[in-house]
C-alpha cells in the first residue's frame, strides 16, 4: 500500500512538472501581452527553460523519463504491473500518458522546446530588477529624494 501511495505521489509530481512547463509557457505568452512583469523574471524563465530542455534531452537520447521509471518501480514493489488503477493514479496517468508512437511524442516535445526557446527572443528575460530611480531630463534621481 505504501509503495502505491508513493507511486501516486510521483505521478502527482510528474503532473505538476508538466503543468508548470505548459502553463508556464502560456503565462509567458499571455503575460507578455498583459504586461505581467514576473513572466520576464530571470529565475522563472531559467527554471522553465531548463525543465523543457531536460525533456528534449531525454527525447533526443531516447531515454525514459526518470519519473516514469520511478513510478513503475514503485508500482511493481506495490504488487502492480503497470500504471495505477486507483482513483488518483488512474486520472493523473490518464492526463499524462497517451497511446501514440514514440516519434509523435518526440516531435511534440522538440517543437514545444523550440517554442519555449523562441520566447527568449519574443519575450526577453529581465536580467536585473528595475532600479529605484526615475529618469527626468536625462538625469537619474532617487525616488523620495529632494
**Nearest in space to 128 (alpha carbons), one of 51, 32, 37:** 37
- pLDDT at res. 137: 45
End-to-end CA separation in angstroms for the chain: 68
Spans of the chain below 70 pLDDT: 81-93, 95, 98, 128-146
- pLDDT at res. 145: 46
Kindly report the pTM of this predicted structure.
0.73
- pLDDT at res. 103: 82
**142 has which bridge partners?**
133
Per domain, the residue ranges of the chain are 2-142
Cell numbers linked to 101: 508512437
- pLDDT at res. 54: 95
Per-residue pLDDT tens digits for 15-47: 899 999 999 999 999 999 999 999 999 999 999
- pLDDT at res. 138: 46
| Angstrom distance (rounded) from CA 88 to CA 94 | 10
- pLDDT at res. 85: 53
- pLDDT at res. 142: 47
- pLDDT at res. 72: 87
Amino acid at each position: 500500500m505504501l509503495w502505491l501511495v508513493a507511486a501516486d505521489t510521483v505521478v502527482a509530481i510528474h503532473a505538476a512538472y508538466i503543468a508548470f512547463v505548459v502553463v508556464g509557457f502560456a503565462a509567458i505568452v499571455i503575460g507578455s501581452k498583459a504586461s505581467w512583469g514576473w513572466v520576464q523574471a530571470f529565475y522563472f524563465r531559467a527554471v522553465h527553460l531548463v525543465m523543457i530542455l531536460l525533456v528534449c534531452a531525454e527525447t533526443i537520447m531516447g531515454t525514459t523519463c526518470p519519473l516514469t521509471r520511478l513510478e513503475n518501480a514503485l508500482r511493481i514493489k506495490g504488487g502492480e504491473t503497470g500504471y495505477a488503477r486507483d482513483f488518483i493514479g488512474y486520472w493523473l496517468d490518464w492526463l499524462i500518458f497517451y497511446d501514440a508512437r514514440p516519434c509523435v511524442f518526440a516531435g511534440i516535445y522538440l517543437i514545444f522546446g523550440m517554442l519555449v526557446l523562441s520566447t527568449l527572443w519574443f519575450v526577453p528575460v529581465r536580467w536585473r530588477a528595475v532600479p529605484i530611480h526615475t529618469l527626468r531630463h536625462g538625469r537619474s534621481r532617487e525616488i523620495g529624494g529632494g
